[in-house]
Amino acid sequence: MSILTTAIGLAKKAKHALKDEIDKRTPVYLSPVRRIERVKTNHRVCAMTFDDGPMALPASPDHFDGKPLTLVLLETLERHNAKGTFDIVGDTSGNYPDSAGKHGSATWGGIAYDHYPDIDKDHFGGAVNCPQLVERILKGGHQITNHTYSHVLFGKKPLVYGGRKHMDSLDEVVYDLSRLDELLYNRYDYKIKFMRPPHYVDKISGGFSSYDACAVMDYQYLAASFDGAGWLPCKTYEEEVEATWRPIEAALAKDPDALCGQIIFQKDGYNMARRTPIADGLEKALEILDSYGYKVVTVEELMNYSPFEDLGADDPLFDAAFWLLDHDYTIVYRNNKLLLDAPLTRGELAMMIFGNSSVDRRVDIIKGNRRFRISDVDPTHPYSGAIDLAIENGGMRTVAGRFSPNSVLNAANFQAICRNIYGRTPDISGPITHRTAIEVLAKMEGIE
């Protein structure tokens, strides 16, 4: 491996370490939108996602007789009876005026905006310009997700993309997502169910985030747990190709079940050096997965094994949790974990029961379209809409204008709220955890 490759590997480890540290310090909230990185399953099944396509240009270097890169990836997947998830864009041709940044850098395709497959070659990429490739993806039984119409950042990312233009409001983000959503539905009768924001920039001005955009669109947030590294430049093309499959080989050699339920990230387009190592590396990656008995499925199919990161189908609570989730109870945190042994707070219970109905209410509160006078809950709080609905419904109350969202519930508190909402009082005692709440709510709904 080259010095550059080693440096990239160290940089990636540092990045993940920093993310882990930030995650430890960042509050996590129950949410109707979950960040799907992986799911808990004992089956040897995983998913592969391919960002930024479709791409009508050939692979670079081209070892496939001029075939479009996306078609090369599709045919490779299908030789192994594998299904891919293609996180596509609509059309980046409106992202001008602009000029290319430094070759091999993060701004290789544009200083002000991204351009796919490359600057001044936008007409070779995206769903608008590549209808035959979109049809081919769907015909092959693969999944399409929304990577936005124009691939413009949702908000600022000064560390890497300080010169980039970004969207200015939730309405602008939703409009951009809707353009691609409607294109797929109107032209192909295909309903998109997942979204991955450009460069994982979540913050949207006005107190919103990509989770709000997903909620408005009725999407889940598509992330990944395993970096396929095809987007990173190395000293040579051969090293880049090796980087697309070597980590998979190493992970499975150490633990054959290491990739169970994981989502692998790859690119359907150029890397920073304008090369496409995934075109030559995907075959080897799939051969390795085949040798360990893995099935590569779409993200949607992967979630049929379990929609949760920390609860598998063999857990006694799985059926109750799955039913509640499927019937609009907000029982899962944004990180797609149930955290069953965590104590339950008043704000969390409001979110559990009313969260899925609170999306529009919270947006109206933040925009000032609805009066919200609870002294200890900020209008931008992720639970503000659910708390407002819980009070309006009569299930929960304020005391002297305070809701106390972080107050941990005891058995008496929990029983009183259930009596107000369901007209029944559960027979419980002791600490109230998320496990307790799920068990009780399922019984209230007649699910044992």
Of residues 25 and 306, the one with the higher pLDDT is: 306
| Claim to verify: residue 342 and residue 287 sit in the same structural domain | no
Interval 65-86: pLDDT, tens: 999 999 999 999 999 999 999 9
| Claim to verify: residue 366 and residue 254 sit in the same structural domain | no
Other CB atoms closer than 10 Å to residue 420's CB: what's the count?
15
| Claim to verify: residue 297 and residue 244 sit in the same structural domain | yes
Structurally, the chain folds into a number of domains equal to: 2
Strand partners, 402: 399
| Claim to verify: residue 241 and residue 368 sit in the same structural domain | no
Cβ-based burial of 102 (10 A; exposed 0-12, middle 13-18, buried ≥19)? exposed
Output the pLDDT for position 439: 96
| Claim to verify: residue 62 and residue 195 sit in the same structural domain | yes
Of residues 417 and 158, the one with the higher pLDDT is: 417
Other CB atoms closer than 10 Å to residue 135's CB: what's the count?
12
- What letter represents residue 415's amino acid? Q
Interval 165-174: pLDDT, tens: 999 999 999 9
C-beta of residue 382 within 8 angstroms of C-beta of residue 31: yes
Interval 403-444: pLDDT, tens: 999 999 999 999 999 999 999 999 998 899 999 999 999 999
| Distance, CA of 243 to CA of 233 (rounded, Å) | 10
pLDDT at 16 over 60: no
Indicate the residue among 286, 303, 320 that finishes a domain.
303
| Claim to verify: residue 56 and residue 159 sit in the same structural domain | yes
Chain position carrying tokens 């124009």: 150
- What letter represents residue 410's amino acid? N
Output the pLDDT for position 150: 98
Please name the residues in contact with 236: beta carbons below 8 A apart, sequence gap of 6 or more: 2
Please name the residues in contact with 67: beta carbons below 8 A apart, sequence gap of 6 or more: 58, 59, 75
Output the pLDDT for position 15: 52
Over residues 310-336, the mean pLDDT reads: 97
Indicate the residue among 247, 269, 303 that finishes a domain.
303
pLDDT at 1 over 60: no
Output the pLDDT for position 7: 46
pLDDT at 8 over 70: no
| Claim to verify: residue 437 and residue 289 sit in the same structural domain | no
Interval 179-193: pLDDT, tens: 999 999 999 999 999
Q: Enter the tokens of residue 371.
A: 């009066």
Other CB atoms closer than 10 Å to residue 239's CB: what's the count?
18
Over residues 3-31, the mean pLDDT reads: 60
pLDDT at 25 over 90: no
Quote the crossing angle between the two packed helices 411-422 and 434-444, to the nearest 10°: 30
pLDDT at 260 over 70: yes
pLDDT tier, 231 (very low <50, low <70, confident <90, very high otherwise): confident
Of residues 141 and 1, the one with the higher pLDDT is: 141
C-beta of residue 91 within 8 angstroms of C-beta of residue 126: yes
Output the pLDDT for position 178: 98
pLDDT tier, 250 (very low <50, low <70, confident <90, very high otherwise): very high
Indicate the residue among 251, 281, 303 that finishes a domain.
303
Interval 88-119: pLDDT, tens: 999 999 999 999 999 999 999 999 999 999 99
**Residue 324: closest CA among 311, 343, 342, 341:** 311
| Claim to verify: residue 84 and residue 211 sit in the same structural domain | yes
| Distance, CA of 257 to CA of 294 (rounded, Å) | 9
CA–CA–CA angle 123, 128, 130 (5° rounding):
70
pLDDT at 9 over 90: no
pLDDT at 2 over 50: no
| Claim to verify: residue 24 and residue 154 sit in the same structural domain | yes
Which domain, by its residues, includes 237? 3-303
Predicted model pTM? 0.94
Output the pLDDT for position 159: 83
| Claim to verify: residue 129 and residue 243 sit in the same structural domain | yes
pLDDT at 346 over 70: yes
Output the domain CATH number for residue 88.
Answer: 3.20.20.370
pLDDT tier, 347 (very low <50, low <70, confident <90, very high otherwise): very high
Own/partner contacts of 411-418, CB < 8 Å, gap of 24 or more, are 413/346, 414/344, 414/349, 414/440, 417/349, 418/444
Over residues 26-53, the mean pLDDT reads: 96
Beta strands in 136-179 (DSSP E): 143-146
C-beta of residue 309 within 8 angstroms of C-beta of residue 335: yes
Mean of per-residue pLDDT scores for the chain: 94
Strand partners, 266: 50
Own/partner contacts of 291-296, CB < 8 Å, gap of 24 or more, are 292/44, 292/252, 292/256, 293/44, 294/44, 294/45, 294/46, 294/259, 295/43, 295/44, 295/45, 295/46, 295/81, 295/82, 296/45, 296/46, 296/47, 296/48, 296/77, 296/80, 296/82, 296/83, 296/84
Q: Give the CA-trace dihedral at 32, 38, 41, 42, to 10 degrees.
A: -170
SS3 state at 46 = strand
pLDDT tier, 314 (very low <50, low <70, confident <90, very high otherwise): very high
| Claim to verify: residue 227 and residue 98 sit in the same structural domain | yes
| Distance, CA of 317 to CA of 311 (rounded, Å) | 8
Cβ-based burial of 7 (10 A; exposed 0-12, middle 13-18, buried ≥19)? exposed
| Claim to verify: residue 322 and residue 239 sit in the same structural domain | no
